[in-house]
Amino acid sequence: MIDEGSEVPDDAPIQQARVWQGNGWTARVIKNEDDEGWAVAMIKDGEPEPALVGPWTMGRDKKNPKPLDVNAFHTLVKTASEVLRRHEQQLHAQLHKSTVVSVGDALIKVTLDIIPDDDHPYAVLTAIDEMGEQMASERVAASFKLSPASASAWIESDFRAPR
């Protein structure tokens, strides 16, 4: 029972049947546009789009959605966080590549870091020796394909810009 003299602070988290906030996330139960069921959208604070939208369970009356609760919310936060983590890992793998090549009796690590600028994307090719020291660095096209062969060719050309 709420005392009429007490007020809920503006920054208090919402914890209602169809909207639940906390831990930097908002879960919102929405009508599923594809069928007669319900869905839940997980939105990270500050983001315009949901990180995850999935089916939501019908309530006992088979018309309305099951209400959100603390356990369901924590499970949804964990799942949505994992989706974001996998997306970040995939993006990192697309933008940062490396290979190791043997030159003489030395191993040289060559990395390619793609800079996804909207107007002028490019990449930076870097050679690193076995001691972790940078041997060379060169700006290349974002479309440069790093492979053991292309890395070896770059090293053998005394690190001249690949064509």
Residues 88-138: tens digit of each pLDDT: 999 999 999 999 999 989 999 999 999 988 899 999 999 999 999 999 999
Q: Which residue has the higher pLDDT, 62 or 113?
A: 113
Domain ranges, residue 124 = 104-156
The whole-model pTM stands at: 0.68
Residues 23 and 86 in one domain: yes
Considering the domain architecture, whether residues 50 and 109 belong to the same structural domain is answered as no
- Which backbone phi and psi does 134 adopt, to 5 degrees? -75, 125
Residue 115 is predicted with a pLDDT of: 94
| Residue 10 binned pLDDT confidence (cut-offs 50, 70, 90) | low
Strands of the 134-141 sheet, one edge to the other: 96-103, 106-115, 122-128, 134-141
What pLDDT, on the 0 to 100 scale, is given for residue 11?
63
Within-domain flag for 14 = no
pLDDT of residue 5: 44
Q: How many domains does the chain have?
A: 2
Look at strands 134-141 and 122-128 and give their pairing.
Answer: antiparallel
Residues 6+ apart with CB under 8 A from 6: none
Is position 119 within any domain? yes
